[in-house]
Amino acid sequence: MRVFKFGGASVKDADAVRNVVRVLKEVGHKDTVVIISAMGKTTNAMEKVVAAYFDDKKQVAGLVHEVWTYHEAILEELFENNSHPVYTKVKELFEEVRGFLAWNKSPKNAFVYDQVVGYGELVSTTIISEYLNEVGLSNVWKDVRNLIKTDTNYRDAAVNWERTQDQVSSELDTGKLNITQGFLGSDDNNFTTTLGREGSDYTAAILAYCLNAESVTIWKDVPGVLNADPRNFKETQLLNKISYREAIELAFYGASVIHPKTLQPLQRKEIPLHVKSFVSPKDNGTTVGKGEDISPKIPCFIVKKNQVLIKLSSLDFSFIVENNISEIFKLFHDHRMKVDLIQNSAISFSVCLDNKFNGLQPMLNELKRRFKVVCHEDVSLYTIRHFDDNSVKSLQNGRSVLVEQRGRETVQLVVK
């Protein structure tokens, strides 16, 4: 059994969907689970729906309609017969979205987010499953919410591995081509949960673990894992092989090509991960597995933008010690702030944070009661794995470095 994952860029329009068919025909599709993300920028569009639901309900209907017309255009290109059952199926999914937004009583943003945003994946997989059947690739559409069971930590749910294993074993027909969604799960009450932004890679790893799959392949618009994101760096190089350990390190520091949670279940069962190009599916791409850390061994650059650097110091010049730090980290946890870098001295404590759940301002208000606080917003955190002097100088050039931290293999710079 193999597991494939196609991201939003690989199914962004009708031509991209046709290319998925080409890839499956070239590399084979029997005994395969195919995980598909929302089409193009649909997740972003559905996030706008959720934002409008809480801030300006008059906009909701129009924003939902925009998402529908985007998918309708793809449907019209793929299916000549506008009475094809796929139109009804997709319309019903959009009616479910509208229905939820009409009757929902929950004031919790994270809960509403998960119930609404996940329809991007449900719609994309419905369209692609029907199209595959249309062109002769018989498949079974599966609702991944019946497979992956989680807790109720909406927007960042934790997997219940025992229940998920039972569901996957009983629900998936491993002798067929299965089409299902990334990013989604469900709680004990069958409300939709999500596994974190860009969580479709993690979905692939979860299902591969439960299926004892022979491999996972993530299909991307790049030739594999590069030593830097080509959107932010010039002259990138392909990494041919990466160990599980090194891939986990790169993902932890923010390498966008692999979701941070993806590697751990694969490593536990030594399931190889391939990252390959959906433009050139026969190329080798990158393989993540057992073996040497990285090949070729060159500096790898990672950047996280829109970060927050907070510098805390005691009001009375007393030491910042364990009890202070534990209180500080409790605040980070309570306000759902992700810690990316820590540096401390006797009377000061610096931390670089990801404010992805917008908890910064209320947290700062609490910190200012006990500490002197200096806050730098909109900073960038650069990480270089396997750094050398030239690679560090290339990042320092012309930038204001607020924090620098070096280890044996890694250097991190917070720059403004």
User: Annotated binding site for ATP: which residue ranges?
Assistant: 231
Tokens at residue 275, please? 């990252």
Instruction: From 260, 162, 270, select the one nearest 214 (Cα to Cα).
Output: 270
> Which DSSP string corresponds to 351-372?
EEEE-TTS-HHHHHHHHTTTEE
| Residue 303 three-state SS | strand
Spatial distance between the Cα atoms of 288 and 266, rounded to a whole number of angstroms = 10
Q: Token pair 């004990």 is at which residue?
A: 188
The reply to whether omega before 296 is within 30° of 0 (cis) is: yes
CA 151 to chain centre: 18
Q: Which residues are annotated as a binding site?
A: 231
The reply to whether omega before 230 is within 30° of 0 (cis) is: no
Spatial distance between the Cα atoms of 288 and 251, rounded to a whole number of angstroms = 12
Farthest CA pair distance, the chain: 75
